[in-house]
Amino acid sequence: MKLQRFIAVARKESIHVVRDWRSLVLAIAIPMLLIALFGYALTMDLKQVPTAVWDQSQTAQSRELLGLLDGSAYFSVDHYTGGYRDLTDMLDAGAIMVALVIPADFADRSRAGQPVEIQALIDGTDANNATLAIGYVNAIGRIYNSRTRVAAGAGRGGAGQVSLEPRAWYNPEMESRNVIIPGIIALVMVVIAAMLTSVTMAREWETGTMEQLISTPIQVPELVLGKVVPYFVIGLADVAIAVAMGHWIFDVPLRGSTGLLFLSASVFLTGALFLGLLLSIVLKTQVLANQIALFTGYLPTLLLSGFVFGIYNMPAAIQAITFIVPARYFITLLRGIFLKGIGLEVLGLNAALLTIYAAVMVFLSHRKMKLKLEG
């Protein structure tokens, strides 16, 4: 392998990139667009749930309970009604998600220390949000019960109550964007790699310039590596944009090593780029190579990497499939570096598996290109 020929191929491909300015603009704009869309639109948090109340008690005790409900960040009590008909109509229309019915004897039973049932009607058309809403309602009820027991104990001169104070490590604000934004980096890199390198070899076959390259003294490693280098630079620039937007726009903490972050990104990017290149070599058609690259890269990263859906919630057969999805290991690395600030002493296995994936893609691309030229 001669450096001069390698540089010549890389320069030739760089000229293609600069001339096709639309693709270059997309390569920069798409990461920004994806981060903005996912960062603002995709959230797993449930806040300010529209809530209606039928308060049959109308007492200080019921108002205290409603104060806890409306004063939290999770519920917004916008409607007070006088019957089930109004609650049903609002639930049917989607105007509210939670309807609370407080019985008339709420205050009497509460003062007497007797159990009292409060009915909570939840719109279950979105099962995930409904489950969260039920949990939040139960939490508000436990807080009210705790306050009532403490007040009763203080009135009798009793002992204090035991208070459980949970604390979340690594993401104390419990913000879903802190989990989502690191995962978007993997998604961005897969999309960019699929869009760029999946057409580079196919373009040579379609335009007839591959025969000219074959007639030169150029060797396969010089051709393959030279084709990838310009897109590798673009990919790292996209990573820098994604990290900067996550930190400065969405306030996602970066507690770990920036160097380790970019090193991990470089390894994953290498594998993604050479996967696109491999498809371009095999298929020889730009449109088909691009579509299959998006299908084999984007969908597994979105669905099977743990980016949106927890792997532990998947069926056992699907969990087994996720082990061959490289984005699974990369997203684990990203979240460990971003949120936990840990390094290779904990993430070493994920980094090793990611390196193996990149090495396999480089080998297969080189091997397939060599067979194409010899055939």
Structural domains in the chain plus CATH codes: 3-42+175-374 (no CATH), 49-155 (3.40.1710.10)
Residue-level pLDDT at 257: 93
For 19, residues 6+ apart whose C-beta sits below 8 A from its C-beta are: none
Residue-level pLDDT at 363: 93
Tell me the C-alpha distance between 53 and 45, whole Å.
23
State phi, psi for 309 to the nearest 5 degrees: -110, 130
CA distances from 106 to 11, 80, 109, 111, 289 (A): 78, 17, 6, 9, 66
pLDDT reported for residue 160: 44
Q: What is the pLDDT of residue 152?
A: 59
CB–CB of 80/126 below 8 Å?
A: no
Cα separation, 303 vs 325, whole angstroms: 10
Question: pTM of the full predicted structure?
Answer: 0.78
Mean pLDDT by 10 residues, the chain (375 residues): 79 79 77 82 77 90 86 86 88 88 85 80 82 85 76 50 61 79 87 76 72 72 85 90 89 91 94 88 79 84 86 88 94 92 92 95 88 67
